[in-house]
């Protein structure tokens, strides 16, 4: 089945690690992962984060996960490198106030421009789509950081690069 919308196709295409994943940290996230949101770089004892550089055929991405266990706020951002920096392709979230995994994304054919606007709205100026819109969703509330990380990698189809096992010697 073909997925409509260029953004949705990019989100769903297989991606592979291009760098080792950062370990979970409570230090402020570096600007190379969060260039457009200063608040994510401020020190906080409540938030922990982890990042990974990955790629698909022709595109480079950053997976940035942030978790605040105290309030049950889980976030995984798939950011794509575009001219001018990083743009948000998709936000996977689960909030303690209304639990249930959901994604926010532009979903259309136009790639959002780099910067803060990509976090809040589609290139058309409309609010980002929320999928699923409501009801009956699985949750990661109360789960470990590792489980959420693995869930985000699975949803965004990120895995280690397949490596050749070498030639068969005869």
From residue 22, how far is each of 33, 52, 53, 122, 128 by CA, in Å? Answer: 11, 6, 9, 29, 28
Mean pLDDT of 12-31: 88
Predicted local distance difference test score (pLDDT) of residue 41 = 59
Predicted local distance difference test score (pLDDT) of residue 39 = 62
Q: Where residue 38 falls among pLDDT bands split at 50, 70, 90? A: low
**Candidate from 53-67, 91-105, 131-145 with smallest mean pLDDT:** 131-145
Give the separation between CA 21 and CA 134, rounded to whole angstroms: 32
Mean pLDDT of 120-145: 81
For the entire predicted model, the pTM comes to 0.84
Q: What distance lies between CA 102 and its chain's CA centroid?
A: 12
Strand arrangement of the beta sheet that strand 98-105 belongs to: 129-131, 98-105, 85-95, 73-82, 59-68, 47-56, 15-17, 158-159
């Amino acid at each position: 089945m073909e997925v409509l919308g260029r953004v949705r196709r990019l989100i769903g295409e297989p991606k592979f690690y291009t760098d080792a994943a950062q370990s979970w940290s409570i230090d402020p996230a570096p600007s190379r992962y969060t260039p457009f949101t200063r608040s994510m770089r401020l020190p906080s004892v409540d938030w922990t984060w982890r990042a990974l550089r990955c790629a698909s055929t022709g595109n480079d991405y950053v997976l940035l996960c942030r978790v605040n266990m105290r309030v049950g706020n889980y976030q995984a951002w798939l950011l794509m490198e575009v001219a001018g920096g990083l743009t948000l392709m998709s936000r996977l979230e689960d909030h303690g106030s209304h639990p249930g995994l959901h994604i926010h994304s532009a979903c259309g054919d136009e790639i959002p421009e780099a910067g803060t606007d990509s976090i809040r709205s589609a290139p058309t100026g409309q609010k980002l789509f929320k999928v699923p819109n409501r009801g009956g969703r699985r949750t990661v509330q109360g789960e470990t950081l590792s489980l959420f990380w693995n869930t985000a990698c699975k949803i965004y189809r990120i895995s280690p690069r397949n490596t050749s096992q070498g030639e068969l010697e005869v």
